[in-house]
Amino acid sequence: DAAGNVVRSEALNVKIDAATPKVTLTGSSETVNAGAKLTLTAQTTLGSGCTYKFIIFNPSTNQWFKLQDFSSSNTFTWTAGSDGTRLFYVDVKDADGNVTRSKALNVTIGNGSANWLSVKATVSSNTSKTGDKITFTAEGVGGKAGYTYKMVVYNKTTKIWGLVQNFSSNNTITWTAGTAGDREFYIDVKDADGNVARSAVMNVTTTK
């Protein structure tokens, strides 16, 4: 006040939530022919000083490959190999050394003919509460009839993959929601010739 006396107020607590780290991966095309070039581009809100690692998963061979180790380049050009489906990911390391992985980017390699194997998959709901039952339905398209279906789940909280159903003729799969969190589901279809194709990602968020 005018006499120079000073009084401090009670503390006012303010919680500042940092922006959720976000990494996205896009491709120059969703379908390419064998031998064609595919450009992958990563974007992030993790700030400056990030480095990028590009990796690929081949569902047909169940193999992972590193395309580019951590580098300041956020783009990578890949030359498509044999026909099939590939899943691409980018790992982004921030200036503090924390690593965040993108969602899967699905790319189909092939001529897109009617005989090309693919899978259509749907989910009954993208949200659930613990204990709820979620139904996934898959339909094989193309290839050689005699399809079997496998479903896997990726828990984004624990960063662990799980098997929901191994290859079976059952194309309607029921999953019971467990702990709260975000999960990504994929369904693989295998035709009578042993070719395998993976569905697009199906996201489900579970709350208590």
Give the class (CATH, top level) of 23-109. mainly beta
Model confidence pLDDT, tens digit, residues 133-189? 999 999 998 888 899 999 999 999 999 999 999 999 999 999 999 999 999 999 999
The percentage of residues in the chain with a pLDDT greater than 70, rounded to a whole number, is: 88
pLDDT of residue 113: 44
- 3 state DSSP class of 164: strand
CATH 2.60.40.2550 domain range(s) in the chain: 118-207
Q: How far is CA 167 from CA 144, 147, 183, in A?
A: 16, 9, 20
SS3 59: coil
- Reduced to 3 states (helix: H, G, I; strand: E, B; else coil), residue 75 is strand
In which residue ranges of the chain is CATH 2.60.40.10 found? 23-109
What distance in Å separates the CA atoms of residue 3 and residue 49, rounded to the nearest whole number? 51
CATH architecture for the domain at 118-207? Sandwich (2.60)
Give pLDDT tens digits for 8-49: 666 544 333 344 548 999 999 988 887 789 999 999 998 899
